Amino acid sequence: MRVLQDPIRRSIVAFSWQPSARRVPGSVGLLVWGLLITGSLHAESAAVRHKPARAEERASADNSTGKTQSVVARKPLRHRVDQVIAARLAERLPALTAADVVPADDAELIRRATLDLWGVIPVADDVTDYLADNDSRKYQRLIDRLLTDPRHHHHLAAKLGITWMERRPDKHVSAADWTKWLTAQIADNRPLDDTVRDLLSADGSDADTRPAAKFLLDRNLDKDIVTRDIGRLFLGRDLECAQCHDHPLYDEYLQRHYFGITAFLNRSYVFNDKKKKRSIIAEKAVGVVKFASVFTNESGETPPRILNLAGIPDPPADKNPYVAKPTSAVAGVPKYSRRKLLATAVTDPANTAFRQNMANRLWAFVMGRGLVEPVDLWHVDNPPSHPELARLLGEELHRSGYNVQQFLRELLLSETYRRGSRVRAGVPVPADEHFAISVLRPLTPEQLTDSAFMAIGLTESTLQRVIAARKSKQPAIEHDVALQQAALRSEMNKLRAPFLKAFVDGPPTSRFDATAQQALFLKNGGLMATSLAPRSDNIIGRLQKQHEVDEIASTLYLSILSRPATSGEIEQIREYLREDDAELSTAERTLRLQELTWALLTSAEFRLQH
Amino acid sequence: MSRNIGCPQHEHAFSRRGFLAGSTTALGVAGGLQSALQAETVSAVQQQRKQVLQIFLQGGVSQLESWDPKPGTVYGGPFRAIPTSVPGVHISELLPLTARQMHRLSLVRSINIKINDHGQGRLFMERGRRAGEFPFIGSVAAKYLSPENNPLPGYVHFSTRGIAGDTAAFLGAGHQQLILDGEKVPPNLDRHSSLSETSATRRNELRMRLNDRFAVGRQKANVDTYSSSFAQAARLMERRHLFEGEISAADTERYGKHPFARKCVRARTLLEAGVTCVKVTHHGYDTHAENFNFHIEQLGEFDGPFSTLLDDLAERGLLESTLVIVHSEFGRTPKINVRYGRDHWGTAWSLAIGGCGIVPGAVIGKTNDKGTAVADREVDAGHLFHTYFQALGLDTSGDHQLDGRSVPIGDPAAAPIKELLA
């Protein structure tokens, strides 16, 4: 019932779409679906950067809607999101009422948001402080704090880095340089389309943008791999089958779409600069792309093009087409570069697939499921679950000047994001695509690893050790979070490696691939065993010193599950520790504390985002 | 009681029993397991579940020194062709024991994959697709031929050099290959020394109780998936003996002592126990130099254990439900280079196939007299992939039904080799 005493909840004004909303027994008012607006949520935070100049420029340049739009008079995106979700819910699941869903409480929200924005569960003290905070605007303050912290910049950068490189082994650009570059992009809140343009245009010769060239260089500029990945990652369309024939199942995936992308790339190659000992991207001035179907007699030739947009014809042939003629020692640079056109063509406002794909992926990032799912199969037979929302999100992302921070902030402040994660007993569980309850999904290997380390106290103890070791040489580390986190990361990376190795299984996927090998690692692995050995600075050491069951339960549940234990759970722990008998030896008691810790760490509640 | 929400009954039954029994009756529990195991071993045979034995001759075995000899021709090399148990079919004299098994096998002598690269060739032969992230033979078999709640991994690959890589693609990590070296058990299969059985059982029971409570009112799929992974881990631990233990003197005598021989014995054990696909990699066929000496050695190692394994599978009644495939990533050039080697050759080469659903003693296609090109019935890995799974009873013109999409199981541009299907 703590939820209902929460000031945020009490200040809720609701527009009901559910005329027969049930009264929740014991509640102070009607809890209903719809637009749940606390007055305070309207206030914009100065902490979150906006790029008004860029955004207005976009708005007037945007001809996709055929008219100039006003930026100021629009309702915040979060309300429009909630409106669509609520309206479709009323239509598609009329039997489900607001009271059927158990609302998310404060603890669930701080865990959810911290996992999504920082990639790790919150430290126990942050949960306690948040629960004790009586400010009606505390949720918004939380989101703004999370979004502006270096931990968010690093997490989002790592997430994008994995999305774009798909855990390929390093080839020409190191993962460290790549993540560092991406982190700087996020920390500056650089427009996402600018970042993508760098990815697609950098040739690796300029030190500043060389990390961006990883996208092409580490794929060895293999035209098939790059073509497919541009389709999937930036257009939301896996055109793979269209390599050999027009797609047999999806009418709109055509061979010319596939080869239209290839045509931007087919003249480019990886050039090994032996003098400078590095590889960069070079290009020839000639080369056409032809294709033939393996099924039919159809064949064709295409200039560079993005999906159904017009092809980009080459200029008339030039007798001397090179700035630098390619030789074994010289990287070719043509006067007219097809590859240089790629970045602009992909991100061109006329190519709405780009904005919709980016918006859908950001939505999936925090909502746990794309409006189009799988996120790279956008076609007529796999339409968005909420087409108007998919369109709206794409337009808003574009109009905001691809301001990722603002976009994520709107999504996290929406009621949709803050929904509960379960229905009351006996109510049929709504399918994920309705977004009626928060989507249950596995933590990524990185989230799982970092959360496990946070839960057992390893992160905190390592941080203290790192600060102590470095403060004489680097006094600022005592209060500079960015410095602390950077130092902590380099220290933790060694510890993370074996854990990550056990859970990373190929490229990232939205499936939950829980394997027996992973369970064996958790059951029998040496790392788990040693992590749970009592140490003065880990959770077992702390629990050993605690004598009251309430205190033990609180440490266990707040540290691992990021919430207080319920009275039933406290009783369960009392029973488990045989408190009534008071007979357990110290060794047996420690053993049982370890068992409790292990069981919570391996529980579905810990393993999943909810 | 909402106890069965969130994880399969089997897991509860086991650990609750263990929990209640406690340490004093641990022996009794173990006894129960033993008999449960025997029952499962028998049932794999009785139910005639379809299985796959895949022998991968890594590096590219020479078709001219194995399945398609051309003695006395310009590129034929020094070895003779010998008759086999199938009248009229001859194979290289380097395979005398396999020759006696020919009535259980068939040959495809007209493969042209148009690929001369190890990595690409291997992927095409495994996926039946030239490009793209498709599942390997073993992962497809694991997905469609494994019984529900299979206590064993669906796809075990014996290989001394771990070739990393995603074999399951969109089928999910549950169908990924489990790589073993044939000597050591899979990692983390033993309870940690610091943990007693009582303690392990107690905490596991607690974990399940937590999950039961958490699962109420939520989508079951992810909680179930997670719980099943623990149940499967427990079942693997119970079957530790399948992965290790002394190989009997009789088997050592019959199979041999070298690593490939030992892997073949383990492969038999796992097939008997019910692993859906067992792949054994025999390394070392990339004979750019000294092709002939190396093939004497390599095929000398291969011939005995492979034919003994066929005998054993047949004797146990498993051969009619087990598809046997012996293949490489490509063959070797007819032209002999200056180092007496043969190079990469995807243009005209062979493989052997037999067992479940395959017409025995057949020879599909042929190469020209010098072996430099396919002369008849050209096929590639796409046709072969269809053939394997049609033989196993899977409709390869159907689709993998995935979340939000369907993907054709076999390449729609290829078709099975009908003449091979029984």
> Is the confidence at residue A13, as pLDDT, over 60?
no
Q: How far is CA B355 from CA B53, B198, B325, B361, in A?
A: 9, 46, 9, 11
pLDDT tens column, A175-208: 999 999 999 999 999 999 999 999 999 999 999 9
Can you tell me the distance from the alpha carbon of A592 to that of A590, in angstroms, rounded to the nearest whole number? 5
Contact A427 B217 (CB under 8 A): yes
Q: How far is CA B370 from CA A458, B328, B366, in A?
A: 68, 21, 11
Can you tell me the distance from the alpha carbon of B356 to that of B363, in angstroms, rounded to the nearest whole number? 17
For A45-68, give the secondary structure using H, E and C. CCCCCCCHHHHHHHHHHCCCCCCC
> Is the confidence at residue A574, as pLDDT, over 70?
yes
> Is the confidence at residue A404, as pLDDT, over 90?
yes
> Is the confidence at residue B202, as pLDDT, over 80?
yes
Q: What is the DSSP string of B70-88?
A: -TTSTT--SPPEEE-SSTT
Contact A520 B189 (CB under 8 A): yes
Cβ-based contacts of A533 with chain B (< 8 Å): 194
For A485, residues 6+ apart whose C-beta sits below 8 A from its C-beta are A150, A151, A154
Interface contact A602, partner B, CB < 8 A:
yes
pLDDT-derived band at B165 (thresholds 50, 70, 90) equals low
pLDDT-derived band at B155 (thresholds 50, 70, 90) equals very high
Contact A515 B173 (CB under 8 A): yes
Single out the residue of B220, B178, B142 nearest to residue B389, CA to CA.
Answer: B142
Residue whose tokens read 């069951």: A549
Single out the residue of B117, B156, B171 nearest to residue B409, CA to CA.
Answer: B171
Can you tell me the distance from the alpha carbon of A492 to that of A459, in angstroms, rounded to the nearest whole number? 8
Contact A248 B408 (CB under 8 A): yes
pLDDT, position A151: 96
Interface contact B338, partner A, CB < 8 A:
no
Search chain B and give the residue with CA nearest A505.
Answer: B173
Q: How far is CA B77 from CA A367, B92, B111, in A?
A: 65, 11, 20
For B189, residues 6+ apart whose C-beta sits below 8 A from its C-beta are A520, A524, B236, B237, B240, B243
Can you tell me the distance from the alpha carbon of A148 to that of A486, in angstroms, rounded to the nearest whole number? 16
pLDDT tens column, B295-341: 999 999 999 999 999 999 999 999 999 999 999 999 999 999 999 99
**Disruptive mutation site among A511, A571, A573 for chain B (greatest number of B CBs within 10 Å):** A511
pLDDT, position A454: 98
pLDDT (mean) for A400-417:
98
Contact A604 B214 (CB under 8 A): yes
pLDDT, position B235: 84
Q: Which A residues 86-105 touch B at CB under 8 Å?
A: 102
Q: In the sheet that B51-57 helps form, which strands lie side by side, from edge to edge? A: B178-180, B155-158, B277-282, B51-57, B322-327, B349-355, B105-111, B363-364
Contact A515 B176 (CB under 8 A): yes
pLDDT tens column, A204-258: 999 999 999 999 999 999 998 999 999 999 999 988 766 666 665 566 678 888 9
pLDDT-derived band at A25 (thresholds 50, 70, 90) equals very low
pLDDT, position A15: 33
For A21, residues 6+ apart whose C-beta sits below 8 A from its C-beta are A30, A31, A32, A33, A97, A98, A99
Interface contact A576, partner B, CB < 8 A:
yes
Q: Which B residues 158-197 touch A at CB under 8 Å?
A: 165-166, 168, 172-174, 176, 178, 186-192, 194-195
pLDDT, position A60: 47
**Disruptive mutation site among B195, B232, B240, B403 for chain A (greatest number of A CBs within 10 Å):** B195
Query: Which helix H or strand E contains B292, and what residues bound it?
Result: helix B291-315
Contact A376, A237 (CB under 8 A): yes
> Is the confidence at residue B187, as pLDDT, over 70?
yes
Among candidates B189, B211, B217 on the partner chain, residue whose Cβ is nearest the Cβ of A422: B217
Residue A283 bridge partners (DSSP): A268
Among candidates B188, B405, B413 on the partner chain, residue whose Cβ is nearest the Cβ of A374: B405
pLDDT-derived band at B18 (thresholds 50, 70, 90) equals very low
Residue whose tokens read 């690692």: A521
Residue whose tokens read 């599909």: B364
Interface contact A516, partner B, CB < 8 A:
yes
pLDDT tens column, B73-121: 999 999 999 999 999 999 999 999 999 999 999 999 999 999 998 888 9
ipTM over 0.90: no
- pLDDT-above-70 percentage for chain A: 85
Looking at every residue in chain B, the average pLDDT score rounds to: 87
Interface contact B229, partner A, CB < 8 A:
yes
Q: What is the DSSP string of A441-495?
A: EEPPHHHHHHHHHHHHTHHHHHHHHHHHHHTTT-GGGGT-HHHHHHHHHHHHHHH
Can you tell me the distance from the alpha carbon of B259 to that of B301, in angstroms, rounded to the nearest whole number? 9
- Residue B46 buriedness (CB in 10 A; 0-12 / 13-18 / 19+): exposed
- Residue A141 buriedness (CB in 10 A; 0-12 / 13-18 / 19+): middle
Can you tell me the distance from the alpha carbon of A62 to that of A395, in angstroms, rounded to the nearest whole number? 9
pLDDT, position B163: 53
- Residue A316 buriedness (CB in 10 A; 0-12 / 13-18 / 19+): exposed
What count of CB pairs under 8 Å joins A to B?
171
Cβ-based contacts of B178 with chain A (< 8 Å): 517
Higher pLDDT, B46 or B167: B167
pLDDT, position A510: 77
pTM equals 0.80
Closest chain B C-alpha to A270 CA, distance in angstroms: 20
pLDDT (mean) for B359-383:
97
> Is the confidence at residue B414, as pLDDT, over 70?
yes
Query: Which of A492-501, A579-588, A600-609 is most confident?
Result: A600-609
pLDDT, position B170: 87
pLDDT, position B151: 80
Single out the residue of B272, B280, B187 nearest to residue B236, CA to CA.
Answer: B187
pLDDT (mean) for A375-400:
93
Among candidates A513, A521, A529 on the partner chain, residue whose Cβ is nearest the Cβ of B173: A513
pLDDT (mean) for A315-344:
94
Contact B204, B182 (CB under 8 A): no
Can you tell me the distance from the alpha carbon of B217 to that of B43, in angstroms, rounded to the nearest whole number? 38
Tokens of A525: 């692995």
Single out the residue of A286, A294, A288 nearest to residue A243, CA to CA.
Answer: A294
Identify the sign of the CA torsion A201, A204, A209, A211: positive
**Disruptive mutation site among A523, A557, A584 for chain B (greatest number of B CBs within 10 Å):** A523
Residue A560 bridge partners (DSSP): none
pLDDT tens column, B110-140: 999 999 988 889 999 999 999 888 999 999 9
Interface contact B116, partner A, CB < 8 A:
no
Closest chain B C-alpha to A223 CA, distance in angstroms: 12
Write the DSSP symbol of residue A429: P
Higher pLDDT, A598 or A55: A598
Q: What is the dihedral of CA A445, A450, A453, A455, to 10 degrees?
A: -100
pLDDT (mean) for B362-371:
97
Single out the residue of A272, A259, A249, A354 nearest to residue A299, CA to CA.
Answer: A259
pLDDT, position A466: 95
Single out the residue of B38, B34, B318, B270 nearest to residue B142, CA to CA.
Answer: B270
Contact A522, A602 (CB under 8 A): yes
pLDDT tens column, A37-79: 333 444 444 445 444 445 545 544 444 444 444 445 679 999 9
pLDDT (mean) for B189-209:
94
pLDDT tens column, A529-541: 999 999 999 999 9
pLDDT-derived band at A380 (thresholds 50, 70, 90) equals confident
Long-range contacts, stretch A502-507, CB < 8 angstroms, 24+ apart: A503/A445, A503/A448, A503/A449, A504/A167, A504/A445, A505/B166, A505/B173, A505/B176, A506/A167, A506/B165, A506/B166, A506/B168, A506/B173, A506/B176, A507/A166, A507/A167, A507/B166
pLDDT, position A56: 46
Looking at every residue in chain A, the average pLDDT score rounds to: 87
Interface contact A605, partner B, CB < 8 A:
yes
pLDDT (mean) for A15-19:
34
Search chain B and give the residue with CA nearest A243.
Answer: B131
Using DSSP's 3-state secondary structure scheme, residue A93 falls into coil
Can you tell me the distance from the alpha carbon of A419 to that of A89, in angstroms, rounded to the nearest whole number? 13
pLDDT, position A295: 65
Interface contact A504, partner B, CB < 8 A:
no
